[in-house]
Amino acid sequence: MGSASSSYRVIHLDVDGRIQKVVFSRFCSPCDIKELFCTALGVPRNTNLSLLDSSGAMVSIDPTMPHNTERLPYRVVPMTGGQLADKEELFQNVLTQVAEQFSRAFKINELKTEVTNRLAMLEKRVELEGMKVVEIDKCRKDIKKLREEMASRNNSNFLEDTKKLTPRRDVPSYPKYHLSKETVKALRLPTFDAWQWEPNEMLSCLEHMYHDLGLVKEFNINPITLKRWLLCIHDNYKNNPFHNFRHCFCVTQMMYSMICLCSLQEKFTQVEILILMTAAVCHDLDHPGFNNTYQVNAKTELAVRYNDISPLENHHCAVAFQIFSQPDCNIFSNFDPEAFKLIRQGTITLILATDMARHGEILDSFKQKVDKLTTQMKSTSPV
CB 215 within 8 A of CB 277: yes
25 DSSP 8-state letter: E
Question: Is 193 annotated as ligand-binding?
Answer: no
Contact (CB, 8 A) for 211 and 269: no
284 assigned to a ligand binding site:
yes
142 burial type by CB count under 10 A (0-12 exposed, 13-18 middle, 19+ buried) = exposed
Q: Taking the CA atoms of the chain, what radius of gyration do you get in angstroms?
A: 46
Strand order in 74-78's β-sheet? 18-25, 8-15, 74-78, 49-52
Confirm if 287 and 241 have CB atoms less than 8 A apart.
Answer: no
Contact 59, 74 (CB under 8 A): yes
Q: Which of 12, 208, 243, 316 is labelled catalytic?
A: 243
DSSP, res 298: T
What is the rounded CA–CA span in Å between residue 295 and residue 297? Answer: 6
3-state secondary structure of 63: coil
For CA atoms 160, 164, 169, 171, give the dihedral sign: negative
74-78 vs 18-25, strand pairing mode: unpaired
How far is it, in rounded angstroms, from Cα 210 to Cα 247? Answer: 18
How far apart, in Å, are the Cα atoms of 324 and each of 23, 237, 298, 305, 331?
Answer: 118, 15, 30, 21, 7
Q: Is 247 annotated as a binding residue?
A: yes
- Catalytic-residue membership of 208: no
Q: Phi/psi at 263 (nearest 5 deg)?
A: 50, 45
Question: Which of these, 339, 200, 369, lies nearest to 275 by C-alpha position?
Answer: 339
| Known binding residues for Zn(2+) | 247, 283-284
Would you please indicate which residues are annotated as catalytic (active-site) residues? Answer: 243
| Known binding residues | 247, 283-284
